[in-house]
Copies of this chain bind each other. A is one copy, B any other.
């Protein structure tokens, strides 16, 4: 009647801790944090090439400066200094559809397109159909264009280069590039692949399911948020931000404000 509960991630006894089938203690000192993340997600230690590529895409997602997430984390820490975990959580909660979701959307698009594709599929035809569909629905294509990094996102070429050097540039990367070309044509403006498009494509090469891609951004950004909170402890900004915004946003209501 009841389903048996079962998880393969880890277990421990008095003298042993096992993660994904590996003795944790034997991995310590040999396996880096990024490689351990790969092990957690894929169930095996990465090859040297996979390690370089996986670490590159996650490193890209760690730090984006003073983002809404970083500001929210700092404001939260001001009110709840007892709970660093709460401030990190508050920051991560902003990694949603608009921010964390873009690599996921790109991977979703690519994985859907190729899920049924034969080895000799015409990738340009796929790209063309994707671009036309988005144009018809008046929707932007995930993974293309960037408000700041124009005309090209410097991370894209580097990430695609790293993938190629390590034998991990295949059909997903090809399709992502072609989608950029076709969308630029169909929308009539330059729409190069941005960093999240590159990450979505490369994560697909690593056979990471698209639903998990947002998680890559979340795990990486947790690191960046801890660094922001360390800086906030040393040189706090939150009280000043609060004071300015509170004053300005209510000034029209205060007596004598008109």
A-side interface residues toward B, CB under 8 Å? 2-20, 24-25, 27-29, 31-37, 40-41, 51-52, 55-56, 58-60, 62-72, 75-76, 78-90, 92-101, 148-150, 152, 154-155, 158-159, 161-162, 165, 209, 211-212, 214-216, 218-220, 222-224, 226-231, 233, 235, 237-238, 240-246, 248-250, 252-255
Are B56 and A28 within 8 A (Cβ)? yes
Given contacts A86-B89, A246-B65, A240 and B2 within 8 Å (CB-CB):
yes
Are A219 and B218 within 8 A (Cβ)? no
Q: Which of A65, A227, A252 has the most CB of B within 10 A?
A: A227
- Min Cβ gap A105→B in Å is 12
Roughly how many angstroms separate A36 CA and B13 CA in the complex, as a whole number? 33
The quantity of this chain's copies bound in the complex is 4
Q: Which of A36, A81, A98, A158 has the most CB of B within 10 A?
A: A36
Given contacts A63-B9, A84-B215, A94 and B68 within 8 Å (CB-CB):
no
Write the chain B residue with the least CB distance to A80: B96
- In the complex, which residues of chain B have a beta carbon less than 8 angstroms from the beta carbon of A149? 12, 14-15, 17
Sample (19) of A-B pairs whose CB atoms are under 8 Å apart: A2-B240, A5-B249, A7-B66, A8-B231, A14-B150, A17-B155, A32-B32, A40-B62, A41-B227, A67-B242, A72-B76, A78-B94, A81-B96, A81-B97, A83-B83, A85-B95, A86-B89, A86-B94, A237-B249
- In the complex, which residues of chain B have a beta carbon less than 8 angstroms from the beta carbon of A41? 226-227, 230
